Amino acid sequence: MAESSNALNGTVASVQDREIIVKRQFRAPRELVFSAWTDPQQVPHWWGPQGFTITISHMDVRPGGVWSYVMHGPDGVDYDNKIVYIEVVRPERLVYSHGDNEVEEQFRVTVTFDEMGGQTEITMRSMFKSAEELEKVVREYGAVEGAKQTMERLAERVAVMVGQ
């Protein structure tokens, strides 16, 4: 298992077999953190690595619901994304397939929101179809570092939401 931690933001990421696992604690109640993750008014403020922005075309957070968005890279490249929600248990868990307009499911994500004494710990598990596919996204797209940067951006957004 390869593991890396970012001491500045407290995000821990590891790669195991076909899975990227990212954990982070937030100084906010889990209902607020869950809302930051699922509210189309909040998500554009933090989703994606540093330098990326998104445009949401549709976000329906319910089992069977679809979230379609375009991620705009700092290099001007646009990436179509399509998430289909499989399980939504507010404010505990989200399970969804992540793909695009060509491939329905490139990987499956399970996000848990655990309450920890007024704080929230998120665990995000992204399961790929093969270890080779996972290695490719880590190597070519910097998926582990991108996930850590995304969690840092979420922490910044959550701090704004709680007025810190």
pLDDT digits (tens, 9 = 90+) for 60-113: 999 999 999 999 999 999 999 999 999 999 999 999 999 998 999 999 999 999
Distance CA 66, CA 59 (A): 6
pTM summary value: 0.91
Crossing angle for the helix pair 30-38 and 143-162, to the nearest 10 degrees: 120
Residues 36, 156: contact at Cβ < 8 Å?
no
Residue-number span of the structural domain to which 67 is assigned: 2-162
Count of domains for the chain: 1
Q: What is the pLDDT of residue 16?
A: 93
Helix (H) or strand (E) holding 85: strand 78-89
Mean pLDDT of all residues in 32-41: 98
Q: What is the pLDDT of residue 8?
A: 38
